[in-house]
Amino acid sequence: MALTRDFRETVKARAGTDSEFRRGLLTEALELLMSGEVDTGRAVLRTYINATVGFEVLAAETGIPSKSLMRMFSDKGNPRADNLFKVISALQELTEIHLQVKAA
């Protein structure tokens, strides 16, 4: 389901002013990916990228072309593990949100 412009703008505005919201988006995206909800996790990560750094800045940081990044996180995208971890690492550095994995 495509997101409306109003929704995307609302998420971006909130992410710009609320650090807990940004942390929650990134955390949720990674938890979804790790629990096997890859499509949903990829969509939330795409929303996080759009709401925070954008694909152009992410491309410059990772060395992966922005169009490739957009394809990776599209509805039919299928990022390789090395690219996915490169993106996650870059996002943590760019947004200064550093997550840790803990056994539960």
pLDDT score for 102:
83
pTM metric for this prediction? 0.86
Encode 31-43: b = buried (16+ Cβ within 10 Å), e = exposed: ebbeeeeeeebbb
pLDDT score for 47:
92
pLDDT score for 36:
94
CA nearest neighbour of 61 among 84, 83, 91: 91
Dig out the tokens for 61 from the structure: 């940081």
Asked whether 14 and 50 are in contact (CB, 8 A), the reply is no
pLDDT score for 24:
92
Residue spans of the chain under pLDDT 70: 1-3
Angle at 17 between CA 16 and CA 20, to 5 degrees: 100
